[in-house]
Amino acid sequence: APAPNPALKQALISRATREWEFFGRQTVVFKGSEESIPHVGAWEDDDYSYSGRVNAYWRTAGKPHYDGMDCRQPWSAAFVSWVMQGAGVPEYQFPPAPAHWVYLTSLIDESGYPGRWFVPRRVADYSPNPGDLVCASRGSSRPASYDGYTSSWALEGASTHCDLVVAKNGQTLDVIGGNVRNSVSKSTFELDAQGHLLAVPRRPWFVILQNRL
């Protein structure tokens, strides 16, 4: 395992939280099969301050020609890449990418190397904590898996979404992600008695990236 670095882990959470605040603190709550948005924030294309911020995310991911006005281009992976880079995570530990499957395949392939900061964990086995990434498939895409395990080759080209865990309160988990309901949103999910993520129709969980710092 890597040497503990709680300051860097907190930097990730703080950076994501500041972006959520910049976008107006939009909140999404998942309870059972129901989804609600008790507070609506600013959206990616509301004005150029927000679309320009999305452009900053895209530049980190190597796509400088996109911004928030390109509403058909999902920018959640670019957001995660921007948070990681700005908090001081080196690229060899988390490669910036325009799509989640790109960095997921790399992290899964290299998870056995010594000193890896982010390692995949099976959803049924692991209770996520602040600093982790929780990942789900998106749309009709479902990465191939066996008994809750998947592989890098099964993820190639898959439509996926990951959020950064920012808080854990009893049997609920708060996460922040980009391009969630057209904004940087904080979402709340339910945990079971063992602290594992409960199934959600709009978030078919398939892997958690544990932050071992």
- Write the pLDDT tens digit of every residue in 66-77: 999 998 999 999
Q: Answer yes or no: is pLDDT of 198 > 80.
A: yes
Polymer length of the chain? 213
**Contacts by 89-94 with C-beta closer than 8 Å and gap 24+?**
89/8, 89/12, 89/117, 93/117, 93/118, 94/118
Q: Answer yes or no: is pLDDT of 10 > 80.
A: yes
Q: Answer yes or no: is pLDDT of 141 > 80.
A: no
The pLDDT tens digits for 19-78 are: 999 999 999 999 989 999 999 999 999 999 999 999 999 999 999 999 999 989 999 999
